[in-house]
Amino acid sequence: MRLVSFAAPLARIGFLSGDSVVDLRNAYGLYLQERERVGNAAQVAAICVPDRLNDFIRLYSGNMRRFEGLMQYASEEMPRLLELGIAKPQSTTTLLAANPDPNKIICCGNSYARYLTEWGLPKEEWPQDVKISFLKSPASLIGHDAEIRFPPDSEQWDYENELAVVIGAHCSDIEEADASKYIFGYTILNDACVRDIPSWTGRYDSPRGKAGDTFAPLGPCITPAEFLPKSPNELRIRTTVDGEVRQDDTTAGLLWPVERIVAFVSRYMTLSPGDILSTGSTSGNALVCGKWLRPGQTIECEIEGIGLLRSKIARRQWNATL
């Protein structure tokens, strides 16, 4: 199962079935009525599938296989679901950020040996444990196929394809061995950023460089942990810009497993259902190769078991005087 948030026109929770986006609440109501013979199916579906994805995550983290019957039903009944408007072709559906309203977006950095080696950082200067680098604002979030709009006072526009953890349950100061109990699923975050900002602002990890509007493409979906095809520490990561491969690695290159990253962060920040914890980028970004993103380009970030997150590149315009 792969969950999405889509515009209808307000945000709705859905899931992907083939090339279609299925409205989860409406499909579940029809499933309950036809397959389970529930008389008040619409009311039950409205209770079981809340409006906010964070609430849905709180209810079903670790228990997403309960929807396998619905997934099978949707596959079998797709022509009728399309006719009823309960499903729509993905090509004509606006996908929002995989979670459009997280409480916080925490980004870890310097997490891959290949990245640090490519950057030329001596080993004695590598992080000794998980590096909590910065936060992004929910206002940074955009969905699949949306524009990353870089500010007009910069030219060095960069990308970082990162496996992002979606937190499933409230947690604080947890054991690494228990971390998987608090993970709802996984998605892709493109840590878009600006590199040529003045040193007095904080440079690479400053809010001006990292947390601008549209600087957090997230999606295209969330794969619940139960449906990930293999360990989150073994997934292939691949990034292309206009078809040119820029990043190609696996999460096996992380200096620390995903579970340790979650547990470490929980020591310092209480995590809530729906929070996004991005694990860092491997080698191949523009900071080293110098191939900065330009207006009109298309970047595609792909992670095994999750999907492909596509973004278009544009330049913002400022109208106010300062």
Preceding amide of 220 cis, omega within 30? yes
Is position 69 within any domain? yes
**Same domain? 88 vs 35:** yes
CA 3 to each of CA 182, 235, 262: distance values in angstroms, whole numbers, following the listed order = 18, 19, 21
Domain final residue pick, 34, 65, 92: 92
Is 137 found in the same domain as 13?
no
294 and 178 in a single domain? The answer is yes
Q: What is the mean pLDDT of each run of 10 residues along the chain (322 residues)?
A: 96 97 98 96 97 98 97 98 98 98 97 93 94 96 98 96 98 98 98 90 83 97 98 98 98 98 98 98 94 98 98 96 91
CATH number where 217 lies? 3.90.850.10
Give CA–CA dist 91/78, Å, rounded: 16
How much is the pLDDT for 108? 97
CB-based contacts of 72, cutoff 8 Å, min separation 6? none
Domain boundary among 92, 122, 155: 92
66 and 201 share a domain?
Answer: no
Regarding whether 148 and 55 lie in a shared domain, the answer is no
Domain that holds residue 49: 3-92
Residues 166 and 190 in one domain: yes
Residue 238, in any domain of the structure = yes
Angle at the Cα of 142 (from 140 to 145), degrees rounded to 5? 150
**Which of 39, 65, 92 is the last residue in one of the domains?**
92
Predicted pLDDT of residue 141: 98
For the chain, first and last CA: distance in Å?
A: 48
In a domain, 207, yes or no: yes
Query: Residue 161 and residue 171: Cα distance in Å, rounded?
Result: 26
Residue 231 lies in a domain: yes
Per residue, the 3-state secondary structure of the chain, as one string, reads: CCEEEEECCCEEEEEEECCEEEEHHHHHHHHHHHCCCCCCHHHHHHHHCCCCHHHHHHHHCCCHHHHHHHHHHHHHCHHHHHHHCCEEEHHHCCECCCCCCCCCEEEEECCEHHHHHHHCCCHHHCCCCCEEEEEECHHHEECCCCEEEECCCCCCEECCEEEEEEECCCECCCCHHHHHHHEEEEEEEECCEECCCCHHHCHHHCHHHHCCCCCEEEEEEEEEHHHCCCCHHHCEEEEEECCEEEEEEEHHHECCCHHHHHHHHHHHCCECCCCEEECCCCCCCHHHHCCCCCCCCEEEEEECCCEEEEEEEEECCCCCCC
**pLDDT at position 254, please?**
98
Q: Is the domain of 307 the same as that of 255?
A: yes
Task: Look at residue 155 in the predicted model and tell me its pLDDT.
Answer: 96
Preceding omega of 151 cis (within 30 degrees of 0): no
Q: What is the rounded CA–CA span in Å between residue 146 and residue 77? A: 30
Q: Is residue 58 located within the same domain as residue 132? A: no
Question: Of 87, 65, 62, 77, which Cα lies nearest the Cα of 31?
Answer: 77
Residue 100 lies in a domain: no
Same domain, 44 and 188: no
pTM above 0.95, yes or no: yes
The residue with tokens 């596959």 is 75
163 and 273 assigned to the same domain: yes
State the pLDDT at residue 202: 73
What's the token pair of residue 315? 């330049």
Domain presence at residue 322? no
- Residue type (1 letter), 249: D
* β-strand partners of 247: 239
**What pLDDT score was predicted for residue 92?**
96
pLDDT of residue 312: 98
Same domain, 109 and 88: no
Distance separating alpha carbons of residues 126 and 130, to the nearest angstrom? 10
Residue 284 lies in a domain: yes
17 belongs to a structural domain: yes
Cross-strand bridge partners of residue 128: none
Please tell me the total count of domains within the chain.
2
- For residues 111 and 253, membership in a common domain is answered with yes
What tokens were used for 241? 């810009």
